[in-house]
Chain A
């Protein structure tokens, strides 16, 4: 169990403010945020490159704050993997075991096991310069996992890979984490990448931790407008809530909640339902006209005017055309009222 308590610190002109976060054993947590949010700085604090001004980092209850990097037993995999160019694949994987003075027989056994489990046995004598992006990533992961660290920190591990390989490697990352029962903290700024691997996500902005939760929780109830925008909730409108309804530009929606006053109404495009005809009696059902129809790889994206311009994702056989009139339902349970950023 990793616990970060009230961590604050300044690196150059960048400031981390009061970070509180816990990562359970065997969990895959993704730190998500835009460039400059402080994700990399946070993992650099965890690995021990910087010393925080305030707060503590606890690993299994032990305060590792005063420990040097080599004493923390937290493995770090940087964006470019930093494979040691003077050592071949096999010696790269064995490096941590040698540094931790494992017996020689044990080093050989674990290295072989890692090479086989990662499917890179045939590369054991290759130098890192002669490896592809995917192979480099496997070697870096093998090197990090060989010593069975208490935590593995991955700094944008998929960003150097092309689109196809990224999908495959994200699956492999997840499998590897589960088969080794390791605890992973993975930094990225890509929502799709996070959703492919994460048990939970932690969203950062401007040196602060904004929200932590499972992907479903965060998507369903973003804490504020920034989180909603970052998670690609395209439909965001200034709104006034009174506990039973929400008013947006003269449109009134039913939404029971304890929230009153000015907020931002958010609804994800995939949660808006399309009805071929406007059925009476359904709450939050409006007549809309399609302004744009954009084919996406697995669905259609429509821009629909119901008095508000809404983005709607539609999966299904039926295709609508620009100018078609149809019913648009905004289900109450998918409407979120969030703080302005």
Chain B
């Protein structure tokens, strides 16, 4: 080994690269152990089973709808928190942040408490609209948990855009709305993409709130992480291992997409 390899300039990069490799090896080991546990024949069986794909697509579309709803609320909320001062702003910010610090199980229990009491019980009875042990319950739990993340991430994105741009835009004759849509949103594109992916991944990983609020209904509420929990309790380790693999691959794909889309942006 060359004499200067462990000189000051090399030790720190070598140490960090070693740590990254160790972390990657650990994750590869987890994936590989699941793979070896299943073997080829079980892998083919589980991955070609309609139940697996039904759970996968349920996870994908509920997470996508929750992500869209979260962005719809999170973007304006994040912008308001970043730009405007108004009475009780800190209280409002704390309420928005609440689902981040409270356990999703508590949120599930809280939603259960609300939706089964007055006036929602009467509304449900009258209109036959039940939010609970069905797909609406899944969406409500995912949205409640992820909306806070979205608002917080969007606030951070808007904070990074200097307000001068908006002042200049308005001095050139653009209204608040035009400035927001033509200037601020395109400039926050990286942040929106990153938030969307993080929010999607967070929604796809939600299960504690679902456990308390919606319970397990085959084909309706058993999104992948929740199904992992249910099958674990049922001792179906083959299903658990195969679904774990799918969850990890989904997470890796989401993170890669974030790097790819975020990295290509020419905004900044």
State how many angstroms separate the Cβ of B136 from the closest Cβ of chain A: 38
Q: Which residue of B lies closest to A86 (CB)?
A: B186
| Contact across chains for A84 and B165 when beta carbons are under 8 A apart | yes
A309 within 8 Å of B by Cβ?
no
B168 within 8 Å of A by Cβ?
yes
In the complex, A143→B189 CA distance in Å? Answer: 24
State how many angstroms separate the Cβ of B247 from the closest Cβ of chain A: 36
| Contact across chains for A82 and B183 when beta carbons are under 8 A apart | no
| Contact across chains for B171 and A47 when beta carbons are under 8 A apart | yes
State how many angstroms separate the Cβ of A85 from the closest Cβ of chain B: 6
If A70-B173, A85-B187, A99-B172 touch, whether A127 touches B266 (CB-CB below 8 Å) is: yes
Chain B positions 46-98 with a Cβ under 8 Å from a chain A Cβ: none
* Interface 1/0 per residue, B164-197 and A, CB below 8 Å: 1101111111110010000100110100000000
A contacts, CB < 8 Å to B: 47-49, 68-70, 72-78, 80, 82, 84-86, 95-96, 99-100, 127, 129, 143-144, 147, 149, 153
If A85-B187, A127-B266 touch, whether A76 touches B173 (CB-CB below 8 Å) is: no
In the complex, A73→B186 CA distance in Å? Answer: 25
State how many angstroms separate the Cβ of A130 from the closest Cβ of chain B: 11
B267 within 8 Å of A by Cβ?
yes
B contacts, CB < 8 Å to A: 162, 164-165, 167-175, 178, 183, 186-187, 189, 266-268
Kindly list chain A residues whose C-beta atoms are within 8 Å of the C-beta of B174: 70, 95-96, 99
Q: Which residue of A lies closest to B265 (CB)?
A: A86
| Contact across chains for B183 and A84 when beta carbons are under 8 A apart | yes
Kindly list chain A residues whose C-beta atoms are within 8 Å of the C-beta of B175: 70, 99
In the complex, A127→B268 CA distance in Å? Answer: 10
Interface centre among A76, A147, A153 (most CB of B within 10 A): A76
| Contact across chains for A95 and B172 when beta carbons are under 8 A apart | yes
In the complex, A100→B173 CA distance in Å? Answer: 6
State how many angstroms separate the Cβ of A128 from the closest Cβ of chain B: 11
A95 partner, pick from B164, B169, B189, beta carbons under 8 A: B169
Q: Which residue of A lies closest to B162 (CB)?
A: A82
In the complex, A47→B164 CA distance in Å? Answer: 12
Kindly list chain B residues whose C-beta atoms are within 8 Å of the C-beta of A48: 170-171
19 additional contacts, CB 8 Å, given A69-B171, A84-B169, A85-B267?
A68-B170, A70-B171, A70-B172, A72-B171, A73-B173, A75-B172, A76-B167, A76-B168, A80-B164, A82-B162, A82-B165, A82-B167, A82-B168, A84-B187, A86-B266, A95-B172, A99-B178, A100-B172, A149-B171
Kindly list chain B residues whose C-beta atoms are within 8 Å of the C-beta of A153: 171
Q: Which residue of A lies closest to B171 (CB)?
A: A76
Q: Which residue of B lies closest to A44 (CB)?
A: B167
Kindly list chain B residues whose C-beta atoms are within 8 Å of the C-beta of A78: 164, 167-168
Q: Which residue of B lies closest to A77 (CB)?
A: B168
State how many angstroms separate the Cβ of A83 from the closest Cβ of chain B: 9
State how many angstroms separate the Cβ of B95 from the closest Cβ of chain A: 27
State how many angstroms separate the Cβ of B129 from the closest Cβ of chain A: 43
Kindly list chain A residues whose C-beta atoms are within 8 Å of the C-beta of B165: 82, 84
In the complex, A129→B164 CA distance in Å? Answer: 17
In the complex, A329→B59 CA distance in Å? Answer: 92
State how many angstroms separate the Cβ of B109 from the closest Cβ of chain A: 44
| Contact across chains for A86 and B267 when beta carbons are under 8 A apart | yes
Kindly list chain B residues whose C-beta atoms are within 8 Å of the C-beta of A99: 169, 172-175, 178
In the complex, A73→B170 CA distance in Å? Answer: 9
| Contact across chains for B172 and A86 when beta carbons are under 8 A apart | no
If A80-B164, A85-B267, A86-B267 touch, whether A75 touches B171 (CB-CB below 8 Å) is: yes
Ranked nearest first, the 8 interchain pairs of A and B with the lowest CB-CB distance are A96-B172, A99-B174, A76-B171, A69-B170, A99-B173, A100-B173, A86-B186, A82-B164
State how many angstroms separate the Cβ of B163 from the closest Cβ of chain A: 9
In the complex, A149→B172 CA distance in Å? Answer: 8
In the complex, A270→B266 CA distance in Å? Answer: 53
Kindly list chain A residues whose C-beta atoms are within 8 Å of the C-beta of B164: 78, 80, 82
In the complex, A80→B167 CA distance in Å? Answer: 13
Kindly list chain B residues whose C-beta atoms are within 8 Å of the C-beta of A80: 164
State how many angstroms separate the Cβ of A159 from the closest Cβ of chain B: 15
In the complex, A68→B172 CA distance in Å? Answer: 12
| Contact across chains for B167 and A69 when beta carbons are under 8 A apart | yes
Kindly list chain A residues whose C-beta atoms are within 8 Å of the C-beta of B187: 84-86
Kindly list chain A residues whose C-beta atoms are within 8 Å of the C-beta of B183: 84, 86
Task: Identify 10 residue pairs between A and B in the complex whose beta-carbon atoms are under 8 Å apart, listed by A's number.
Answer: A69-B170, A70-B175, A76-B171, A78-B164, A82-B164, A84-B183, A99-B173, A127-B266, A129-B268, A149-B171
